[in-house]
Structure 1
Amino acid sequence: MSSLFTPLTIRGLTIKNRITVSPMCMYSSIDGFVNDWHVVHLGSRAVGGAGLIITEAAAVSPEGRITPDDLGIWHDEHLPGLKRITTFLAEHGAVAGIQLAHAGRKASTYTSWKGSGIVPEAEGGWQTVAPSAIPFHAGQPAPTELDQTGIDRVIADFRAATLRALAAGFQVVEIHAAHGYLLQEFLSPLSNARTDSYGGSFDNRIRLLLQVVEATRAEWPAEYPLFVRISATDWTEGGWTPADSVALAAILKDRGVDLIDCSTGGNVPTADIPVGPGYQVQFAEKIRQEADILTGAVGIITNAAQAEAIIASGQADLVLLAREMLRDPYFPLHAAQELGVDVAWPDQYARAKRAKK
């Protein structure tokens, strides 16, 4: 028996295996719209056998995009393209998930192969927003500090995006509160210098995320899971800590969150991060054990034996693969063969299936 290929049931939804395609920005949209690239990119991972496929960060508002080329879900016209994706994924046995996001002070940047730094408004950029007027990089234009009206608008945008995600056929929503984007900016004292009810104490700094979760959960069907991606540590003294993450995870569980997707970093450009195979799995294990909530492990998970060990040892409930899925869209089919598990291949590909060893 393989733990990696054991189904996972969360609420009323069963995922056929523990292999998830992690959200990965493609920077290939115009005005937030899906195009053929997205359909082929995500569809090939469904053909390749992934149990859950989460789209790249979908911006809940135009100013919430990381770049002008980001995927969006801020108006109803985005829905037909998204529905095309969810329909195809379902036809090939994959659960469709979507990551809802707001980039905060890290918005309005160039796509990496088009330039670097902040896109000026004259070239299609926009004024960024954040909990405090602290730029991500020294020397960059300062973001605008959100007032209560702006905060209320962010919550409303996540609520509206949740309803659109449901209409588009998604069955998992993940709220992006990691990697130095808006919701994590509120969480971390390194980016949140507010003195009102959204700053200062731990309870104040987590307030916006809790309000977004409550708004999302209120619109999301009870039978469908809700995930939250967090950066479990800032890797920087005085910042967000693993202990903070455990405390937050326990609170999120009580608010209807089903799984914590455990990443790290992204909020401090000078953080010293000890990158290596499975370097973030420790945080998924800690949060799973200490907050008693399902977790997903990410971070240089590149082979079947490694992924199997993470699930079998109880370090996490899902493994989320990113770059390895870019290198090998059929990783789940190949991993099953390596682990001696007989899984169904698409009918169109069955003639290429090798006998189980």
Structure 2
Amino acid sequence: MEEIRVEEGGNVGPIDSSQIPRYAGAATYARLPRLDQVESADIKIVGVPFDTGVSYRPGARFGATHVREASRLLRPYNPAMDVSPFANVQVADAGDMAVNPFNIDEAIATIQRNALELTADGASLMTIGGDHTIALPLLRAAAERAGQPVALLHFDAHLDTWDTYFGADYTHGTPFRRAVEEGILDTEAISHVGTRGPLYGKKDLDDDERMGFGIITSADIFRRGVDDVVATLRERVGDRPLYISVDIDVLDPAHAPGTGTPEAGGMTSREMLEILRGLRGLDIVGADVVEVAPAYDHAELTGVAASHVCYDLITLMSDLRANRA
């Protein structure tokens, strides 16, 4: 039987782990209430079990379930930011979108429609993928809600600004080129963070620069340090509405082996979390964490890392809403 935990301010929080063991019961993210268990939610966590857009290893369709399982150990107070995210605002798990695995165009339309429905009441959305194809419809919805093109911080080993794969316009390697073409990104405030590894040619970088992207590689993070990188990102984003998209392969395979396209030489989970914490106060309008493929995960390394990235993103959104209130 669930032990409901009521946080300060009256928000329904996670199940009380001092009363119900963490490993017992159905897994919602961080053991939070389901959306149907609360009157309304300020931040909604939703899974998108879709990986039809992958070009190498499949399996990210199981990512949201895996991250939820790995999130059982999360606790309601975030000491790194001195924030109790689930007490500040109501956070709830909205379950998974029902997405067609056989038709990418239909899947993209479904994700965009569902994202707009979930945010119709002013809620913020924390999405767990799924492959990176899903970022495009989520960005469409975020830009529509913001009423303007949004800034983007894209954490990834890869650029994801290629044109097509096998003639297909919509894949996990193309979402940000499509987003630029559609005018839903503020091209004065878009950056890749953590990129590395071989490319098809220098033209990849030339095309990317022409679209307006800045690049901070994983080697830059190592050499410059987190604080300098954060300062650069904050200056680039400014006070614009910001969407954050995190491909878990931005982390080195030592920290995130369970992903579809791993690349050596990546960020540590510590660097990732510290950069996110440095973005506190920016106008974050939505976020996703994608490309967790549990079949390749060992001892939940990737799931644990992804669950903590989600937790810090939720903390940032919760803190922003609480301060505005």
Q: TM-score range by the shorter chain?
A: 0.3 to 0.5
Relative contact order: is structure 1 or structure 2 higher (C-alpha 8 Å, sep ≥ 6)?
A: 2
TM-score by length of 2: 0.37
* Structure label with greater radius of gyration: 1
